Amino acid sequence: MNNRRKIVVIGASNVGSAVANKIADFQLATEVALIDLNEDKAWGEAKDSSHATSCIYSTNIKFHLGDYDDCKDANIIVITAGPSIRPGETPDRLKLAGTNAKIMQSVFGEIVKRTKSAMIIMITNPLDVATYVVSTQFDYPRNLILGTGTMLETYRFRRILADKYQVDPKNINGYVLGEHGNAAFVAWSTTGCAGFPIDDLDEYFHKTDKLSHEAVEQELVQVAYDVINRKGFTNTGIAMAACRFIKAVLYDEHTILPCSAVLEGEYGLKDVALSIPRMVCADGIMRSFEVHLTDDELEKMHKAAQSVRSALDGAGIK
Ligand SMILES: NC(=O)c1ccc[n+]([C@@H]2O[C@H](COP(=O)([O-])OP(=O)(O)OC[C@H]3O[C@@H](n4cnc5c(N)ncnc54)[C@H](O)[C@@H]3O)[C@@H](O)[C@H]2O)c1
């Protein structure tokens, strides 16, 4: 019986190591290979994670330093290579476009020489730029390239409302869509809490401070920079988001989650990658949904597209 499941994680710093360790926590692989330009870092992270597998609570997952040949038989490849926004820097991931587009071209150039069948989970920022670059500049099946996108903003949105109403964040449903970054927006028309309409929550939870859509949207964007400025980086939330997609693929879940891919005319948009609700299964992105948006939300979707497109133009990417 072949129960082998191999995951390659490229980029073994804050994000890559967190993803690798969560893969172990959730027993999502039998083998995890870590690749980084900094081989010592990848070796050290793999070795450290391997020590944890000796614990009675852990599964005996094979962690090791990898190289690109590990991609040949990988089921899933997670891409986290490339720098992040640092504490104190201008709070805009799009400024990483030029540098990280080049890194994506180099990393993906190595991947496509070895496989065209692994599921690719994109994490590197600017996420929508990185997803667009690998999807359009290489001959790789588009359905197998998924950017984590606004899944993370959606988690942040749930947490913000959960804290306001003191309810389980998993009771909060609905989507944050658009850019993973400053032009992310809440599709309020899709949101609710345990079946209650979102704008009735103040009444149900006896709140006198009224829900402000604008304040929530600002907070869910700003909080990422607040974490970076205080902690130095973000990694735990994104590692959870990555594992959510990995599970959806491994278990052929047909689950609908917000994630990024190149738009194919949805909302009248092309030539850009953005997050919209998409069904994820063993074949990757099975289909995308042009969920109904209000005029205001539609305008925000178009603004997100303009913002990502201008970063692509700035990096010389058609
Ligand atoms: N999508 C999201 O929601 C999300 C969330 C958090 C972080 N991120 C992004 O994830 C990326 C990684 O974040 P981090 O904090 O780990 O960054 P980091 O700067 O600490 O680490 C980046 C790593 O990439 C490696 N690297 C650079 N070029 C490489 C190449 N060509 N091949 C292999 N490895 C290479 C570096 O050696 C380094 O170890 C950043 O782009 C960050 O913005 C995305």
pTM: 0.98
Q: In whole angstroms, how far apart are CA 139 and each of 71, 96, 113, 116, 165?
A: 16, 24, 10, 8, 47
Rounded mean pLDDT of the chain? 97
> pLDDT tens digits for 164-180?
999 999 999 999 999 99
Amino acid at 85: I
Q: From the candidates 64, 180, 254, 302, give the one annotated as an active-site residue.
A: 180
So what's the pLDDT on residue 225? 97
CA of 286 to the centre of ligand 1 (A): 28
| Ligand 1 atom 6: residue of nearest CA | 234
So what's the pLDDT on residue 118? 98
Q: Which of 141, 150, 148 is nearest to 111 (CA)?
A: 141
CA of 214 to the centre of ligand 1 (A): 30
pLDDT of 2 > 90? The answer is no
Closest atom of ligand 1 to CA, residue 81: 24
Q: Answer whether the bond into residue 126 is a cis peptide, omega within 30°.
A: yes
| Ligand 1 atom 20: residue of nearest CA | 13
What confidence category does residue 1 fall into, taking pLDDT thresholds of 50, 70 and 90?
A: confident
CA of 307 to the centre of ligand 1 (A): 22
CA of 179 to the centre of ligand 1 (A): 18
> pLDDT tens digits for 243-287?
999 999 999 999 999 999 999 999 999 999 999 999 999 999 999
Question: CA–CA separation, 12 vs 38, rounded Å?
Answer: 8
* Stretch 130-134: mean pLDDT: 98
| Ligand 1 atom 4: residue of nearest CA | 123
So what's the pLDDT on residue 154? 98
Q: Is 180 a catalytic residue?
A: yes
Q: Encode 125-147: b = buried (16+ Cβ within 10 Å), e = exposed.
A: bbbbbbbbbbbbbeebeebbbbb
* Stretch 284-311: mean pLDDT: 98
Question: CA–CA separation, 291 vs 278, rounded Å?
Answer: 10
| Ligand 1 atom 2: residue of nearest CA | 123
**Ligand 1 neighbours by CB, cut-off 6 Å:** 10-16, 35-38, 41, 80-84, 100, 103, 106-107, 123-125, 127, 148, 152, 180, 233-234, 238
Closest atom of ligand 1 to CA, residue 234: 6
